[in-house]
Structure 1
Amino acid sequence: MKEKTKTKPILQAQELSIGYSDKIVAEDISLKINEAELVAVIGINGSGKSTLLKTLTGNLKCLSGTISIQQKNINEISVQKLSELISIVLTETQFSQNLLVEELVALGRQPYTNWLGQLSNKDINAVKQALQLLEIEDKSKRKCGSLSDGQLQKVFLARAIAQETPLIFLDEPTTHLDLYHKIFVLKLLKTLSRRTNKSIVFATHEINLALQLCDQIILVSNGKVTQKTPEELINSNLLQELFPKDLVEFDAATKNFKVL
């Protein structure tokens, strides 16, 4: 695994307001995503995590403020170029159960293939490398419908890696997984961010795991977005205020939420 070195910002947001024409979800947002960092977006249900991800990826227009990727305003980046900068892995992704694993991973090469979708040698090599990196090359000829949830999640990650973008966004990547596979996927994301020098941003409810594994945490709560390191967030007392205190509380000493 590569040693982590001093990194530079790949994505920055300044004075951002997010939401919809009839509703502001959060405002006055300033954040920075550095190269080769694993960043979790946390918050209670309905707080605006998905809205933030949609806005940062250009799928939803911000109400005000600016988003820059590699120091260029996202509004000035073409759809084609944006697909070479950002790959997205959604929780509920529609796909054909009859697709082979290698075929699904190869869909990540769409930004680079010709209009017929033919794969060049470079595309084929990118797919092979992604399969190897996720250790699923032995499943390349299997149909996706035959895979477990954990295996399928690795295939979607491989597709994102094959897309060869500096930024990867994931929405709830551990949904439907048991505890072991939740830890497995998040540790895998950490390893990938180091090995590939990619910035990986994911929304999650697994706050305890995110605090242990991530470089940065983005907290969406009460119309505000706060970015801190895990240690800074723990010391800020913001986690103690995240949930009503009648059922659960955050224990700073153990860095865990506990049932009362």
Structure 2
Amino acid sequence: MKLKIAVQKSGRLNEDSLQLLKDCGISIDNGQDQLKAEAKNFPIEIYYLRNGDIPQYLKDGVVDCAIIGENVLVEKGNGITISSALGFSKCRVSLAIPKGSTYKNISDFKGKRIATSYPETTKNYLAKFGIEADLHIINGSVEIAPNIGLADAICDIVSSGSTLFKNNLKEVEVIMKSEAVLAVSPTISTDMEQILGKLQFRIQSVLKGRDSRYVLLNAPNNKLAEITAILPGMKSPTILPLAEEGWSSIHSVVNQEKFWEVIDQLKEAGAEGILVCPIEKMVL
């Protein structure tokens, strides 16, 4: 029995998804232009699919799970469970208008023509404010629509905003923030759930490692209490005596988001020789 997992056929999400599986120790035997591949050392099959098709494959039970953008699930994946957020391929779904247009509030979209690849997401967001608009469904280069007179505005995914800038558009409303997620089919069997559990364990170990840094430092013994209060670690910091009398080495783990803040506090508390290392995986 093999767990069937879908990933995007090509693009950035494909690359990041395969890298995550690789970091989980899963070796995939795939060649160029393959639509399906098996792992050599884990009971899993990889299906390479169009991003927009993945929700239907999940609903139909053709695949057991998928690495997919949350924005696609919101648009097409009603009833599909999100197992966990994966922390990469972050973007947002936003409404944008031509740079020269004035904008006061969401009411400005009333009766406007909006080009989008996300009609359900757009419609549901506007409905929250009681706004009706004329939606033009476009698969592809949505940003060009206002420039050719097809629409007054667009609703599309935004990452850096460079594509909007190149097409003389400005972002005015963020409908939702999105990232890659692990989604699970509503029809997954009990046997496949067990394999999925093992995969989830590996994924969480990798993600925790990515979000953390291993810190080693030297500190005078009379400062240990103050410094260890800054460094809680996974349970508590590891403290080892140094050859130099009156000094100790402290080992701990710091969350990446708070890293520089913690480092500043450690220096003020008297820490020296601070060494920071990446963590490949963290198993708790």
User: TM-score per shorter chain, which class?
Assistant: under 0.3
Q: TM-score, normalised by structure 1?
A: 0.25
Higher-RCO chain (CA-CA 8 Å, sequence separation at least 6): 1
Larger Rg: 2
Higher strand share: 2
Q: TM-score, normalised by structure 2?
A: 0.24
